[in-house]
Structures are given as structure tokens and as C-alpha cells.
Amino acid sequence: MPLVIETHKWGPVTIIDLSGRITLGEGTGMLRDAVRKSLDAGDRNIVLNLADVSYVDSAGLGELVGSFTSVTHAGGRLKLLKLQAKMIDLMQVTKLHTVFEVYESEADCVKSFGV
């Protein structure tokens, strides 16, 4: 299933809902474009909702890290929401759980920005 991206706002927080696969090629490019579009619009509090992401390959994982770096360098914060079990395992194996803040509840995630 190709990656589908929808964006919505919760106050000053932009939530990017991802559905499908984040893989080399179109998936990683779409994610990069969505984050860049949010940053270009002045958004600095960004959440990637991964609840409906079925698969992430190494390029997709790299794009998540790249998105984190882009947002951080722009003076913002990027957090992850609703990881699937496979994604949680991947984050632990790669030690990325020490980089990303991960939340199970959209309300808790938005609240964590303190805005």
C-alpha cells in the first residue's frame, strides 16, 4: 500500500497522519515533502502519527531521522505518535527510542509541547 499523508492542526501543533508504507522512493519523498511544507508554513511543533504505518524500511527509518534533524535545525520539535509493535522493536534495536519522544495518545502528545 503506498503512503498516504493527511495533515491536521490541534492548536499550534501540526499532526501529520501517515498511512501505508514508508519505503525508499515515493514514500520517503512524500514524508520529506510533508515535513518541509509544514516547516515552510512556519510550523515548529510537529507530530508524525504512525498508527496506520504497516512497514518502514531502512530508507524510511533514515527519513524519520532526517525529518527529526530538519525540524530541530529549524528550531522546532518533532514527536512520534502511536507506533505499531514492529516499529517499537525497530526503535529499540536501532536505539532511536533515545532520540524520539513517542506517545500513545494524541492529546498527551499535543500537551507535551506545552503550548
Mean pLDDT for the chain? 96
The full set of domains in the chain, from first to last, is 4-106 (3.30.750.24)
Q: Is 109 a residue whose pLDDT tops 90?
A: yes
Question: Global pTM?
Answer: 0.96
Do residues 72 and 78 touch, judged by C-beta distance below 8 A? yes
The values of phi and psi at residue 63, to 5°, are -70, -35
Closest of 3, 93, 95, 115 to residue 49, by C-alpha? 3
The values of phi and psi at residue 55, to 5°, are -160, 140
Do residues 115 and 13 touch, judged by C-beta distance below 8 A? yes
The CA distance from 79 to 49, in Å, is: 9
Kindly list the distances between the CA atom of residue 81 and the CA atoms of 34, 40, 69, in Å, as whole numbers in the listed order: 16, 22, 17
User: Which of the four pLDDT bands, split at 50, 70 and 90, describes residue 79?
Assistant: very high
pLDDT for position 10:
97
